[in-house]
A and B are shown apart, each in its own frame.
Chain A
């Protein structure tokens, strides 16, 4: 399974994260997204005409939408991450996979504008990003009132993996995450999962690791 990947992309990271959590091995193929713009090259567009990342290639199968890639990886190596096989759960998970596109189009775009100098109506992106975070906060608050810790119930699913990276990285696009206590607790729970991996800007919970014993002269 080959993932065409860019280290700073939240949408690529969510695929790497799910693969790590489910034990799915990926062959990473780095794409020079910035500054090279390799995703817009003729060669890359032979693979994905849309010129976007991530792209997953598994034999003859090529998937270019992160929601589809998450679904495929979960079905292959971690079916629990699809949620239980009920119409309600399938609907809920699909709801949040679709919602994650709104996060990419708002928070993700604000972040690419601020970090990679990509053109955007930055104020509109930030307003839409705040609205998304408010919806996420309310949904997580309601889950907590029902006694659940994740977007689609008591255990983490694709719903959480799809929304987590942009919620964590919003400050990169000038959108504060300070006002959202339910989002803060939820991202903490996800970062504490066995097998969790980091990306630049999203670190593991240091408190779960033993204190390193330093040696004089290092650092």
Chain B
């Protein structure tokens, strides 16, 4: 089965040794980047006690749970259990791994097999990711952005050309990942404020 790619973060917001929680098709995912820069998207649940792995920490090429320090390597298999340092963890202790890729400054995740690549967004710089308590269609009608053949909303915010990727969250919320044409900081700040204005407009429209 082929699953769709979901935009989950701007690459700039996940530095090396960083871990953050994201949501893909209602599934909680721990998105992290190793010391060497390798990107990974795993089920956000430690197989030991169910703690969110996105609360954990990255050392080298492994992600460790904040609760009891169990650490997991690139394939999702358990590498080390600190309370039993002489034990080689059984193969069965493994975190489910999803597909993650980085393309033009955006991180995408797919829950199933995936042959195609996410849409290209060349010539743009990351602006910001903002969570809006409104559904995508409400945001689109509040924004005046047009949907292109590639399914991406494009238009202008504070006179800056932008592309807006929408990530659906449970309970009708949406994350907007906004990229903008290169511009000076003052122009990008104006665009960032326009994203906030769009959030407020969509939320009041959704509530009405």
Question: What is A's interface to B at a CB cutoff of 8 Å?
Answer: 134, 137-138, 141-142, 145-147, 178-179, 181-182, 184-185, 188, 203, 205-207, 211-216, 218-219
Contacts and interface: CB of A to CB of B under 8 A. Distances in A.
A207 B59 contact: yes
Nearest to A181: B13
B82 A212 contact: yes
Contacts of B128: 141, 181-182
A216 B83 CA distance: 7
Contact of A181 (B10, B58, B64): B10
B19 to A, nearest CB: 9
A111 to B, nearest CB: 18
A138 B192 contact: yes
B9 interface: yes
B82 A219 contact: yes
A215 B82 CA distance: 8
Given A181-B9, A206-B64, A216-B86, A138 B193 contact: yes
Contacts of B83: 214, 218-219
B104 interface: no
Query: What DSSP secondary structure best describes chain B's contact surface?
Result: mixed
Nearest to B17: A207
16 contacts: A134-B196, A137-B130, A138-B192, A141-B128, A178-B20, A179-B131, A181-B13, A181-B20, A184-B13, A188-B18, A206-B59, A206-B66, A207-B17, A212-B82, A214-B85, A219-B82
Q: Of residues A212, A213, A214, which shows the largest number of chain B Cβ atoms within 10 Å of its Cβ?
A: A214
Counting contact residues on chain B (CB < 8 A from A), the size range is 20 to 34
A172 to B, nearest CB: 14
A142 B175 contact: no
Given A181-B9, A211-B59, A219-B82, 10 more contacts: A145-B188, A178-B21, A181-B13, A181-B20, A185-B13, A206-B57, A206-B66, A207-B58, A212-B82, A213-B85
Interface string B101-131: 0000000000000000000000000001111
- Pick the 10 closest A-B CB pairs, nearest first: A179-B131, A181-B13, A214-B85, A219-B83, A206-B57, A207-B57, A145-B188, A214-B82, A146-B185, A141-B128
Contacts of B189: 142, 145-146
Interface in B21-55: 21
Contact of B192 (A141, A188, A206, A215): A141
A42 to B, nearest CB: 43
Nearest to A214: B85
B201 to A, nearest CB: 14
